[in-house]
Amino acid sequence: MSIDELDFAISKGLKFLKDRQLSNGGFSCLFACSENCTADALEEFSMGDKKCVVIVEETTVFPATLIGHSLLYLRDNSEAKEILNQIADFLIEKRSSFGIWRHYTKPHQLEQFAANDLDNTAMASWFLQQLGRPALDNRDLFISNRSKEGPFYSWITLRLQWNSNPKYWRSLWREFRHPIGQYYFWKLMPCAKNDIDAVVNSNVIHYLGENQYTAAAIDLMVRVIVEEREEMCDKWYLRPVLIYYFFSKNMNKGIEKLEELKPIIKNRILAQAKSDGQFFESILDTALAIAALENMGYYDEIPAKSIQYLLAAQNSNGAWKKGVIYYAYERADESAAFGGEEISTAIVLEALVRYQSHERSLHVESTRF
pLDDT surpassing 80 at residue 63: yes
Q: Binning pLDDT at 50, 70 and 90, where does residue 51 land?
A: low
Q: What is the pLDDT of residue 203?
A: 99
Does 37 have pLDDT greater than 60? no
pLDDT digits (tens, 9 = 90+) for 178-192: 889 889 999 988 999
Please state, in angstroms and rounded to a whole number, the distance separating the CA atoms of residues 321 and 312.
12
pLDDT attached to residue 50: 55
Q: Which of 20-29, 233-242, 332-341 has the lowest mean pLDDT?
A: 332-341
Asked if pLDDT for residue 43 goes beyond 60, the answer is no
List the beta bridge partners of residue 334.
35
What's residue 219's pLDDT? 99
Q: Please, which residues bridge with residue 273 across strands?
A: 279
Identify the weakest region by mean pLDDT among 81-90, 102-111, 339-348. Answer: 102-111
What's the pLDDT at 33?
84
**Whole-angstrom distance, CA of residue 196 vs CA of residue 330:** 17
pLDDT of residue 52: 73
Supply the pLDDT for residue 47.
44
pLDDT digits (tens, 9 = 90+) for 295-307: 999 999 999 999 9
- Segment 304-328 shows an average pLDDT of 96
Mean pLDDT (whole number) for 357-365: 82
Q: What is the mean pLDDT of residues 163-169?
A: 94
Rounded mean pLDDT of the chain? 93
When pLDDT is averaged across residues 82-95 and rounded to a whole number, the result is 98
Ramachandran region, residue 293 (left: φ > 0; alpha: ψ -120 to 50; beta: rest):
alpha
Q: Report the distance separating Cα 316 and Cα 160, nearest Å.
A: 53
Separation of alpha carbons 128 and 89, rounded Å:
9
User: What pLDDT score was predicted for residue 48?
Assistant: 47
- Cα–Cα distance for residue pair 340/64, rounded to 1 Å: 12
Of the listed ranges 1-10, 17-26, 243-252, 339-348, the least confidently predicted one is 1-10
**What pLDDT is recorded for position 2?**
82
Q: Give me the pLDDT at residue 38, please.
A: 55
Reported as a pLDDT band with limits 50, 70 and 90, residue 104 is: very high
Let me know the angle formed at the C-alpha of 270 by 44 and 294, rounded to the nearest 5 degrees: 85
The count of residues in the chain is 369
List strands edge to edge, sheet with 155-156. Answer: 101-102, 116-117, 155-156
Residues 234-262: pLDDT tens digits? 999 999 999 999 999 999 898 999 999 99
Domains of the chain: 24-341 (1.50.10)
Contacts of 316 (CB under 8 A, 6+ apart): none
- On whether the CB atoms of residues 327 and 338 are closer than 8 A, the answer is yes
* Rounded Cα distance, 183 and 224, in Å: 32
Of the listed ranges 98-112, 208-222, 338-352, the one predicted with least confidence: 98-112
The percentage of the chain sitting over the pLDDT mark of 90, rounded to a whole number, equals 78
Residue 356 has pLDDT above 90, yes or no: yes
